Structure 1
Amino acid sequence: MQPLDPGDLKDLLSLLQTALELPEEERRRWLDTLDPSKSHLRPTVAGLLQKQAKHETDDFIAALSEHTRRHPGGSLAPAPFNGAIVGPYRLIEKIGDGGMSSVWLAERDDAVLKRRVALKLPHWWAIAKLSDRAAQERDILAQLEHPNIARLYDAGVTADGRPYLALEYIEGKPIDIFCRENVLDLRTRVQLIAQIARAVAYAHSHLIVHRDLKPSNVLIDAAGQVHLLDFGIAKLIEEGDPANKALTQLGTMLLTPAYASPEQILGQSVTTESDVYSLGLVAYEIFTGYRPYTFKSEANTSWEILSVEIHRPSSVAHEAADARELRGDLDTILMKALKKEASERYGTAAAFADDLERYLRSDPVLAQPDSAGYRLRKFAAKHRLVVGAAGAVVVALAAGLLVATWQLRIAQEERRHAEEVKDFVASIFRSADPFFTGNKQLTAAQLLTFAKERIDREMASQPHDAAELLLIVGEAQSNLEQLDEAKATLERALKNADGVLPADSLQVAAGRTQLASIAVQQGNYDEAEKQIAAAMPVLREHRMQREGARALSSALVSSGFIAGERGDGKRAVAEMREAVEVLRPVLGDNDSETILAMRQLAQEHLLMGEAEEGLKAARIAYESAIRNFGDGGRDNLLVETEDVYGRALVDSGQLEEGIEHLNKAVAGAERIFGSEANSVVSKLTWLARAQMKLGDVKGTVATLERATQLSSEELTRARVQSTLGVALAAARRTDEAVKQLETSVEVIRRLDTTGTAWLSNATSSYGNALVLAGRMEEARKVLTANLQSTPAGPSVADSHNGLGFVALSKKDLVTARTHFEKAKELSSQGPPSRVVVAALLGLGETQFAAKEFAAADETLQAASAAQQKVSQRPTPVAVDIVVARGRLALAQGNRDEAAKLFAQVDEFWQGFAPGSRHAREAAQWQQQAR
């Protein structure tokens, strides 16, 4: 076949595009009316349309390609080749050549990021609408972030107009080849199909149907991980979008018949059930070693898909052992997925995955074997002349009766269990009726206590039911912050479960996760890690179930929190991100659990100093909570997301707006939990931090005093006191600061077993407060001991600052300079903080004392600039810097500058604490300058 010249090629593509948009029955009439100048192309167009009409996608594309090979004198750009540059990528080698495009192994050529990608390039001869399809594939992939779906890294258009997609490069093999080469047992193959089904379910949850599921689009890497590829002809499940409808029309020809559903063959609407059918065909082939259809000739392809009944997998399996294992549940599951009628299949890929996972757990599957009546109706419809074969009917009825009896027994047992639990829960609420209790306002906490007492009293003979109910009650108590009660309930539940529920059951693992969460809140990190380690393997096995995903996410959040508290911020962020990724494919983006996990991820970004990433995640969580639960139903979720959003706004410099949200979060937590709840105390400390950044020192002190008074737990109160002590020192209420910090250090040293930095931070703050109080020798001992016991962390720089001021008070300028330089070095890595401000102030004063006036002026200017980033409004420490600059100006004989600076100092103290020692000193400095 000779390639066409450029003019004919352009006409051919235009004609073909027009023809493909016409109904099939109108195409021949349209061909007969072609313009005479183009009639010589009629046989070529007719031949291509004939191949397309028979669903011979590959043949259609290959034939079109023959017409479009580059003509020596033509205008088409050259085909890609090894070493060619496409956008920022260099092509290494071709790894695939499909109907619409070729796929190349490539890597970035601009030294920005060393990453190998699979670069997808539409063929030059592809018709115009395929550019739209490439854009749709880009938009679809951009929505999908799932560990089992190849990621989209980049997209663009080359200088010569060719669109490209840069996809995750997967070093793997198609699933059929991987299973065959590795001789995988049937159970492992079932696990792989379940993984694929979960990935497909995730795409469905984002309103995307794949439409071309087949073994070559499912790669398995060396670690046995599934990767779903090629959303090139995927369909967005939307109505009313003209562009999408046009692509859908074109897509009817782009399919692989061996893995197409009956409705695709008929050109009907493609739904999630279509993907279930195609995945069922892949599973059939992987499980049995054979495809369900023979396709003896091209002519009967459509007829076979639409009419031929598929044999049960167990009857055709290549291996006898596989046949035995397939017989029963797996037969039932696959035959349901492969029903000709879409409405009789699994409604979703998630339901398909659920049944596969039930099989793997040896639980009863939900798909029911075809009943005897169903089989008889099908038989009668196809073989009306032999319905009288009584023997076959009797055998079928007997088999059906046995199956029905077995399943009825299981169903009755499950129904009995469900009814007992339902009746018990209903009786709890009936017993809470004021008619019985005499209490008009029985609280949720009282109701849970009442429920636990009744479970203990009335269900001793039903340990299985008792264990499950106690786990539910314990979780509810934990959510109400009744931590001691929740811990006791959950420990009792696990004791009841021992020997009754399997040790690797999801309920037991979820109970351990709840205990871990309580241990974290109580500061017992070792116990939390012990419970998480025991639960995690079980939770990962159940990660694609709703309750399993919830519990796994909770365990990851607890583990991430502990990592963050111990200074491993990167691990904390990674585990919070995994918690989100666990929930998304199972619960979706709009579920409250997913939103809460996103909130935790935002918090860890903020704690890492990653303000931009924190604000982005916090805004997603907050806006999603408002959108989905703003009308009520999840008040606590609204409070928690508003809290982290407020903190993120503060960290990004939007202080007043952030404080407004933080105040609302405090009020909401008080309304839900009561004023003494840990949640309220925690939110007050974050509000105080924001107030300090604003420069509202008095407001900060008032907020932290309130938080201290509300703290019901001694350790929590001591931690809040340490923060209050720092605020009191900043407000120059020095004696009160020393008192609060001394108490804080004593309690934290006695009670805190977490191994975190709370003790060292409180100790360094205590030592610095002693410096402000003029108790230099006490300060030296406290700070020196703290340095010796704390090799790393923020308190080290703080301790060096305190020791620097001690040395400066003794005129030991060499030692003072050494400490301040060290503090500056240690604290200058992150954003400006009070510690770096103190280091610069101390160093500037040391340089001033050494009469290094130019260096002192430069250092004090740096201290002032850093302080302006720490607090937006003037604070006592900012005024201390102004005093130092005024003294420097005075020493240099610049009395006008000194007077101006001391006037600022006097004005501040007259407004902040007019009767204080600092106000009197400010007036003296101003007088001296005059």
Structure 2
Amino acid sequence: MDPPLLPFPGEDSLPAGIDPLELLEVGFRPETTAGVGAEPPLSAEEVGSMLPAYEVRRLVGRGGMGTVFEAVQRDLQRRVAIKVLSPSLTNEPGLTARFRHEARLMASMEHPGVVRVYEAGETAEGYLYYVMEFVDGEDLASRLSRGRLSLEEAVPLIANVAEALEAAHRLGIVHRDIKPANIFLPAEGPPRLGDFGLAVTAGQAEEALRLTRVGTTVGTIEYAAPEQLSRAHAVSPASDVFSLGVVTYEVLTGELPRGNFDPPSLRREEVDAAFDSVVLRALQTDPARRFADAGKFREAFLHAADRRRQEALRQQAVRRKMVRRAWVMCLLAVIALVTGGSAIVAWKARKDAEAKQAAAEAAEQRMSDLIQFLLTDLRTRLEPTGNLGAMESVLEKAVGHFRRVYEESGHSPVAARKLADVLVVKGDVIGVRGMSAEADQLYTEAIALTELARNATPQDAKATRRVMEAWQDRSEHRMATGKYSDALLDARHLLGEAEAFAKQQPGAESTHALAMAHRAVAHTLGYTGGLEEAGEEYHRVQSLLQELVAGAPDRADYARELAELDMSLGSNAEARGDLEGMLRHFTAWHEYVVRNEGPDTSGYSYSAFRMGVALQKLGRSKEAVSYLTDAVRIAERESKALPGHKGCLNHLSWCLRFLGQAQEGVGDVDAAARVRQREAEVNAALSAAP
């Protein structure tokens, strides 16, 4: 059940939609007066006069929303911290409600790992305040600035923080700003989790998403989950798990997990590889693939930390089994004298086979989380950002592992599919690094493996889909390397597989597979000059997707694919010289993005770019400038958030190129010159990126 909260009088009063404030980042540091730059609006003496029950001793820090003082509660002689809402912020929309909201949430958290709130109220002079325990120590950010922690310090620290966060999640509270600066390290006792100024309850998450102001990132960008940055989904406990995963990676390695990062064990020799799967799962881009909450994360983290003890227990169990087996074998030897031993031989063979299978399954399970990371996040990170050497090394180990599993399983269908999956990912990596021939061989082997698995289970729809995916993987690789004719042959083979699948197992799944196959053919035809035929294929895709949407109007993925098709149809119209058709389709796609993603997102930047290009080609330069200016603004922001990312830099370069053309079209020569200069800078950075 959600803890009771103060009523919120309106949209502006909800704890969302305001730029992230460093609420308590330095509020518990007794040796700092962070936030200086202007005299504090209140002195310790003034606060003491307003709150006579407390002996207010000194200012200990200022955050974005309040000033914190050290004090002693006179009647209990208890050392406390008093946070007072800054007078200059009292009239800011929503901040008074957020201040109350923060106090209520922290007061509802009766857990030793959360900063306790004792009292909250308003002074006779109209100042909001709350009283909390004083944490005499430093925050984790300050501690990490002096060097990384020993593993003996790091493991219990993360476990305790996860336990405190688990308590919040049990109450339906999502913190939204987990980071080292909000984890306080007292001289005695467990670490404390503080700063609930951005927190929401489960019931408010969707509303917070709706009301978050355009251009606002809720949380601290280095630690925020992808859904907090893109606002594509409402936050959930899994969002906090992502942030906790970033903190855990930093605590274990002393580094932030940026770009194509290595598993923790590759960054620090003392870190056991058992932690890799835990941290990598927490850092999945898709919230559904992370731990559901901090409790699940903590359980897995402690299991990884306890692996040595678990291994010892397993060895004890093995020894006990060996003792029991010795007794059993003695008994069987006696029976063998009577029966001739044929039944015993069969029994032993069966047991050996079962043991071998169990060993293979256990080995595969130990790798599963790591491989899941490689098969999901890696594929979204494969734009040529460079620095893939370490990931290739991990993939090489994974390929070796699954080759062994495949051989030891007797070429089982499941093992074949697993090996195929990791071969495709390795193909993606080395393909990006320019090893196209080697990558092609890996895709080809993956096709053979998936077909073998499908032939063993011909009625398994999943096996059939995996065959089609393998053909599509190779087609896309060949298209990316300029082998358009070969890519088209693969796409047509894919279409044949999809048509057979639709006949054998009619339904939504096979209809969708058929639509995707027609789309693959259309894409490749566009590169081989068959523009008219490509347009016909795109329209077939459109009909199939419209059929799926009509049958399942709640399926957002079908609706998005149908909307995305307008982008392909627009590009096809552009290539055929149908500029009005191009604008019509790009407009349809752009309107979908505005409705479903918002006007200040990465997706908006790409759709606005398309609109600007279409309008510029139609001679409507003034309108083009408006769209392209928006596209550039967002692309600049994305490039700053991901410095050196080639995909971001490439998109920014194209946006600047067409913006310069549009500005020249309206006669704004000076603005065009500035844009051209910026384009040259971006292109230089693009050339220098690894």
Instruction: Tell me the TM-score range normalised by the shorter chain.
Output: 0.3 to 0.5
TM-score by length of 2: 0.41
Over alpha carbons, which structure has the higher Rg? 1
Higher relative contact order (CA 8 A, sep 6+): 2
TM-score (norm 1): 0.31
